[in-house]
Amino acid sequence: MPTDDLLATCWTTAGDAAPGRHDQRSPLSLRERAEAASAAGFTGFGLLHADLVEAEREYGIAGIRSLFEDNGLVHLELELLTDWWADGPERAASDAVRRDLLRAVEVLGAHHLKIAPDVEDGPWQLDTWAKEFAALAAQADGVGARLGIEFLPWSNLKTLHDGLELVETAGHPAGGLIIDAWHTERAGTPPADLAHVPASRIVGVELNDADPQVIGTLFEDTVSRRRLCGEGAFDLPGIIAALRTAGWSGPWGVEILSDSHRALPVREATEAAYRTAAALL
């Protein structure tokens, strides 16, 4: 058994739910998902805002915390805040989600809050984004958590180096990156580059695999055709070794998004996600 802790990111246990859908809520109860993650061996858990809202209606925020504690899920990740840089109605809606997430982060003792860049790749100014990122990082720090932004190869932050430029310009010590193997590989970032990321700027890591060639758009490929760790073409041993060199020791997130994964019973899907990632670690 590995000595590293593994975190089941939100989509790994969500069943038939996926990014990009009008309704992204999992059809499964939080209890089913938490128990499946724990039974598989995970000690961390990721929760999407839409599912947080549903779970709070069913269990209450204190009940959610007890559910995680009862299942040994001690590393918690909450996501996903978008439009945190925007103005007008988009920003108002984003700020409402921000308040929900920050409150839950504090009560649940989450390690970090995950945010997204602009997936439309619209025009933007680094200084403006850095100021907004620093302000949000300060809010996360104020409730005992870190802030991680996940760079995406189809967004305005396409690469590891784009993400690093933003967080270093922002300069807040609580801010950093979520490094997803899918996004580094599809952006063409050599695994060796990961070894030079300052350890203080790594907030979270996500492991997964994929075929050598992209099928459809990058978004379609990442949502529908990821593979279990070790079952695709990624240099995951090189990525893991480089991140260890950089100073990352976990928890290692496992994010599996695919049509085939979503079709499995949650216990079977979660066990496969854990087993294949643990074999590499």
Residues 7-38 pLDDT 10s: 999 999 999 999 999 999 999 999 999 999 99
pTM for this one?
0.96
Mean pLDDT of 88-94: 98
Q: Residue 77 forms beta bridges with which residues?
A: 46, 112
Residue 1 pLDDT > 60: no
User: Does residue 56 fall inside a structural domain?
Assistant: yes
Mean pLDDT of 196-204: 98
Report pLDDT for 3.
75
Q: For residue 97, give the amino acid letter.
A: V
Q: Give the range of the structural domain holding residue 54, as residue numbers without chain letter.
A: 6-280
155-178 pLDDT, tens per residue? Answer: 999 999 999 999 999 999 999 999
- The CATH number that applies at residue 136 is 3.20.20.150
User: Does residue 1 fall inside a structural domain?
Assistant: no
Half-sphere exposure of 51 (CA within 13 A, CB side): 29
Report pLDDT for 12.
98
Mean pLDDT across the chain? 97
Give the pair of three-digit tokens for residue 255.
């994010």
User: Does residue 252 fall inside a structural domain?
Assistant: yes
Q: What is the share, in percent, of the chain residues with pLDDT greater than 70?
A: 99
> Helices H, strands E: what count in the chain?
11, 8
Structurally, the chain folds into a number of domains equal to: 1
Q: Are the C-beta atoms of residues 143 and 105 closer than 8 Å to each other?
A: yes
Q: Are the C-beta atoms of residues 215 and 205 closer than 8 Å to each other?
A: no
Report pLDDT for 2.
54
User: Does residue 26 fall inside a structural domain?
Assistant: yes
